[in-house]
Each structure stands twice: as C-alpha cells, then as structure tokens.
Amino acid sequence: MTTSAAPPTPVTLGLPQPRVRETPVPTRYDHSPEQLAQLLGGQPPFRARQVWQGLYEQLSGPAELTALPKALRAELGAHEQLRSALSTAVESSGDGGDTVKWLWNLGDGEQIETVLMHYAGRSTVCISTQAGCAMGCGFCATGQGGFRRQLSVGEIVEQVVAARQRSESTGRRLSNVVFMGMGEPMANYDAMWSAVTRFHSHLGMSARHLTISTVGLVPGIKRLASEDLPVNLAVSLHAANDDLRNQMVPINRTYPLDVLIQACRDYLEAKGRRLSFEWALIDGVNDLPRDAYELSEIARSLGAHVNLIPLNPTPGYPTVGTPPNIVHAFCDRLVELGVNATIRRNRGTSINAACGQLAARISAGT
Ligand code: SAH
Ligand code: SF4
C-alpha cells in the first residue's frame, strides 16, 4: 500500500476557510504596473504608463483614452483582461441624492453592493470585500446568505473608482473609504490590503481616511498592526460579554473578548490610530442598561469611540431594532459613563442601503 504525501496546508488565519470558487478572469484594476506592461506586450513602455494613468488619474478605461492611437484604443478596449469588473444591476438613490447605492453584477454573475454617502464636507464610500460572508452573524443580511467567493483586488478597487467618478461628476471629492459593505475584510486580507495600498499610492487617499471594519478576526488585526500604513480600525462589537457575543457573533467562540481587546490595545499602541466600536442596537437583546455598562468598561479602557446603529430589520432575523427613545437613552448612558458615543443615522433605509440588504431583497424577489 502506498501513502501519498499530504497536500501543502494553505496559510490561513487559523479559521476553516470557505470553499474558493474558480478565480474569475482578471479585470482592468487587478493588474500591477508591471503586469499591465506585460499585458501590453509589444507596445513601448510609455503606453503602459498612459493606460495606468488613464485608470487611476482620469478614472477611464483604455477605450476612452484619446491620448492613445485609435487602433490601439480599439484593441485594448476589446481586451478581456482590461474590461470593467462591475456592471450595474440596480442603482438607487435616497436622502435627496446624498446616498447612492449600487448593486453590481460581477463577471461570473455574483452580486455585490457599494454605497456612496455625501455629507457636509466629505464623501464616503462603503465597499464590499467578499461576495457573501462566512462569519454567520444572524442579524446580518450578508451573513444569512452565506459565503460565495472572495473579491479580487480589481473588484474592490473599481468600487472606489466608480464612487470617485460619481462624486466628481457632482463636483464633490471622494475623501473616505470604509470597508463596511458585504464580507469580512480580514478574511480576504491580501486583496483588501492590496486595495488599501492602491487607494493610498495611486488614488492619493490618506491612510487616516481609510477604515477597516472587522467582526473580530484577531490574526487580521495583528497583521494590520504590522503594516506601514496606519489605517483606522473599526470592530463590530455588538456585545460586551462572551455569552451574548458568542450567540450574536459566532467568531467570538474562536477569538473571545479578552483576546480581541488585547489585539485592539496592541493595534492602538502600534499605530496610534482611533479605534471605534460598532454596536447594532437590537430590541431587548443588547440595549439594556447592563449592556451600556459593560460596553463602557471596555470602550473607556481603550479610549474607543462607539457608533450606535439601530438594527436594520432583515428577512432572516426575527428581532427588530431598538426604538429611538431607547437608542437615545443608551447613548446618554454611555456618555454619562465617560464614553465618546454617537448614534449613526441610518443612511438610505428606504433604498435598503444597509449591509447586504439590497442583494437579499433582490434574491428574495421582493
Ligand atoms: N464584516 C465586517 C464589515 C462588514 S459589516 C464587520 O462585521 O465589521 C459592516 C457593519 O454593519 C458591521 O458593524 C455589522 O455588524 C453591521 N451590520 C450588519 N447587519 C446589520 C443590520 N441588519 N443592521 C445594522 N447593522 C448591521
Ligand atoms: Fe459577515 Fe460582517 Fe455580516 Fe458578520 S456582520 S456576517 S462579519 S458581513
């Protein structure tokens, strides 16, 4: 009898890895400058630079680059690996045009969401890093649908390019990126971080205007602490004791609160960036005075800012958001306890602009 050698173990974040579907064909924002030069093969090097500048400065694909000879424009415009990653499935706007939400079709038929929000003095885009999510938080529409696949760096970057194009067309400058759309950024770390470096180096965005939100994947937080760019960290806490957090956020069973809090402390020490906690307020679940007290102990010890978000109801979760008067009382209690807390207004509720909601509604046929 022969025994075959075990296959090499992939480097993971110590978690069971979701099945990765066939990698889609790369698209225009997947390539590095070197890969782009290779793709343009026989052309002189300055052509690759022109195409790169077109993508990152003019936010245009090769077919629109008038600096290129007509024949080359046509050839590159038809190149499979220079096509756009995103085509619009649904676009909707709310809040008097200040919120725009896209549901995109990807090349293989998967769908993801991006939300652009204009505020006085800044414009922020909320982007997805995975089609679906494997983390299984019961209250989240994306989690309810399960994991589909990782997004490529090009699929992540192009969401920001689309939002920047739209902002510029209305005379505004896209200033901030938050990784708070579909998926868990730390579970697609390499593509997420490549996208961050593109935003910084090629789209000219400052690290302090980039925020990574995580459900609490501790190995990802540690890795982030070792990077050179000091981005903001947001942790979706939702519960400040392990019993409740284990139920709401299953990954807490792998990385319980004391481990998570230590990783947050180490991140703050390494980067000196602001830490924020996200807290989706759920009626009767995590909105009691005891919850405010437990949360205040953790938030104060880390100097963390708390963002309170009344739960957006989703089809797969029976409980509703905390009523407005209790939301305010919860916030006041935190402030009395010495915590810097704000209530985040739900942007685009009428257009299902909460995480994963538009995709869930479309697939449910409503
Ligand atoms: N996976 C990452 C980032 C995407 S989720 C994370 O969990 O942090 C972005 C934020 O939306 C998280 O804080 C998440 O808990 C929150 N969220 C998910 N479903 C929600 C809902 N139905 N109502 C309000 N907030 C929700
Ligand atoms: Fe995934 Fe974040 Fe939704 Fe949890 S809240 S299922 S981690 S997207």
Percentages (nearest 5) of helix, strand, coil residues in the chain = 40, 20, 40
Query: Can 331 be counted among the known catalytic residues?
Result: no
Q: What is the pLDDT of residue 36?
A: 96
pLDDT in tens, 64-88: 999 999 999 999 999 999 999 999 9
Q: How far is the CA of 25 from the centre of ligand 2 (A)?
A: 26
Q: What is the pLDDT of residue 2?
A: 34
Query: Can 297 be counted among the known catalytic residues?
Result: no
- β-pairing verdict for 111-119 and 99-105: antiparallel
Contact 30 CB / ligand 1 (< 6 Å) = no
Are the C-beta atoms of 169 and 310 separated by less than 8 Å?
no
Mutate to test the pocket of ligand 1, among 125, 140, 308 (most ligand atoms within 8 A of CB): 140
Q: What are the residue ranges in the chain where pLDDT is below 50? A: 1-12, 14, 16, 355, 358, 361-366
Q: What is the CA radius of gyration of the chain?
A: 21
Query: CB under 6 Å to ligand 2: residues?
Result: 133, 135, 137, 140, 142-143, 183-184, 215, 236, 355
Give the pair of three-digit tokens for residue 122: 């800044």
- Annotated catalytic residue, options 113, 155, 158, 278: 113
- Tell me how far apart the alpha carbons of residues 177 and 208 are, in angstroms, rounded to a whole number: 10
Q: How far is the CA of 274 from the centre of ligand 1 (A)?
A: 19
- Tell me how far apart the alpha carbons of residues 62 and 82 are, in angstroms, rounded to a whole number: 8
pLDDT in tens, 288-322: 999 999 999 999 999 999 999 999 988 888 889 99
CB atoms within 10 A of CB 113: 28
- Tell me how far apart the alpha carbons of residues 118 and 56 are, in angstroms, rounded to a whole number: 22
Domains in the chain: ranges and CATH: 33-82 (1.10.150), 87-364 (3.20.20.70)
Are the C-beta atoms of 187 and 135 separated by less than 8 Å?
yes
- Tell me how far apart the alpha carbons of residues 12 and 119 are, in angstroms, rounded to a whole number: 38
* Among the listed residues 311, 328, 330, 302, the one whose alpha carbon sits nearest the alpha carbon of residue 234: 302
* Among the listed residues 157, 164, 149, the one whose alpha carbon sits nearest the alpha carbon of residue 179: 157
Q: Which residues pair with 155 in a beta bridge?
A: none
Q: In what order do the strands lie in the sheet with 232-236?
A: 87-94, 99-105, 111-119, 122-126, 176-179, 210-214, 232-236, 275-281, 305-310, 340-343
Which DSSP state fits 112?
E
pTM: 0.91
State the closest ligand 1 atom to the C-alpha of 135, by its place in the atom list counted from 1: 1
Give the pair of three-digit tokens for residue 123: 């414009």
State the closest ligand 2 atom to the C-alpha of 249, by its place in the atom list counted from 1: 4
Contact 277 CB / ligand 1 (< 6 Å) = no
The residue nearest atom 6 of ligand 2, judged by CA position, is 143
State the closest ligand 1 atom to the C-alpha of 310, by its place in the atom list counted from 1: 24
Write phi, then psi, for 132 (nearest 5 degrees).
80, -170
Tokens 């009691």 -> residue: 288
